[in-house]
Structure 1
């Protein structure tokens, strides 16, 4: 690229001596250099131009590899400024590159003007600086080399309105955007918008992070406090306030899970973790109260069993009990403990291959060889006949040879298929 592209880029990119941070977190310095920029770096005008030439190496390679149409110097310079501004990825999928490779440079120049919007404050607007830059790049792109201007005399070619070029004129009013060149942060402002004051640094003593940490600490100390320890004043503030329309508590005793109607356990330790209690030896009074033997236990009155179907009154005792078969006619008793007898399904053996089929295929192959050999021999050794005879010996010999080849190929195919099936059958029998 020539000096024209370098001066065009420097005019619209500006010069920044010290590095500044972009809104996306990257740093920029010089004439839009971002690759090696870092905080606190400074660069002179000569070094800034050197960094610009270094960035334009990738732009030149992209233009030489992606554009297949021959370009003049002015077109190459204008495209270099255009690609440096929109980026390599956007250029590869843009309509400018597509129109260039189609051989339509005028349409490509018009498509360059469509890249004029930017996101400012969360809104995509038409920026006046981008409109001016696209117009300058388009003018350089359309400038011919030397004095090769095509005359367009207005008395002969009177300009008329092109109603199809609606995309050239933006429907939105271009907005002037100012980017600050001083400080370590790039601030983009619209025309007439006041500069936002710098945000004061947060005090570590009263910051939201410290308040959240204190709330979490107070909550944890409340959950894991000792039984005899009372919550502190800070812990009491964290506890939720009672709701004014709270449901009255149930006067009945509650268990450990908050269910009413049950007496809470006195000992929260589970029974399987308790130590065995010492058993006292029975006294004489206890021995006297217990039955002397099993006969006395059987003679003692027994309470009602829960699984006994006792009658409700005397009248029910007179009614004979109905058998279970009559009450449950469709009952089916299944014994899960009985062994299950597995009956294997009958396996039908595969039919044994017949030997006659193999012999038939061998005979067919031999017949094919005979037909082929006889046909070739007849066609080569037969006497020539008159040209009026259509079915001559050579034609008959050729047809016989072709038929012999067909017989031989069919026989070999079916023979190999039969051998493959036999090998598979033997493999299954080994398993």
Structure 2
């Protein structure tokens, strides 16, 4: 057996002052895969325990100078995991019990012993030692892992806090970016509206009428806030594609166009779709405008969509647009009142127009909700506006071009620009602002 194999064997220490007992124990364990140590006294055995790691100790009780119980008590201090067996020739139960308490032994065996029984006790003792050692190793490992886990949890907590701060910072940056982009996109649309308004063949007032009617119909039909906003935009930009039509198609009322010109005229929604194509975020708006000439019965342009296959926004836009075209004398030579214009729309519900949208327009007319064209008489003059006030409605000039959008907060520069505008264009502006919006801390700057 080589040195490495010997080192892995369990170690048994036999202690007895009688040499023949030690020889008997040596013969007994000769066939066992163990490393056997022998000592003839307690002092000699303690010296061995100082040097050798022992799994199991067998000690005689009656020895000179130091009893087995006294030796095992000290052995328990030196190597507490070692399994301890006391061999005694005494039949006195009281002395045996005392020896068990003093020596902290695990088992005692009476002399003369039975070899098979002693070997069984040794096997049990070695197994007990293995289990105790394994348990301690496992406990140590668990304690180490718990410590590592605690450190890891602490690190994770710090990491989570750092990630949370980073995430909050990223969200704030995203919000600022989104707000900036949103303002840029809004400004782009406002410029498009002014391009429509400034064209002498188009009409910003008409676009405003259609926009408000679209938004009000959407509200009556319980569409969401974003959908109402979409409908307002769809009304404002429904004629955007007309900028790509020949001048005679713009200057001539639609009912006066010949078949060739009318076919060309009906392509303006697709021209608008092409114009808006680079603005991916306006895809939904583009889709509504592109489908505005589809008809509920499938007779429309360009894809002959039927019923609810047509986007709801396009169905609303078609009704609002044609209602105001009738009022603006663009549908035929007859001049319609609003009531007559609605009757013109109602007669074609289910064929050209969605019946639900027509019903919503009827509620709008009956409740006189759509009053956009009323002149605003309760606005403030520019000279009455103070820094910090907020616009409650879009500010348009007399040509219906947008000067400032709703929710704009006035500053010194804005007011100065408006005063210059009035002087240059000889036009007095009336401005609607929200009440009680003056900044209380404006004088702290």
Name the TM-score, length of structure 1 as normaliser. Answer: 0.18
| Bigger fraction of residues in helix | 2
Name the TM-score, length of structure 2 as normaliser. Answer: 0.18
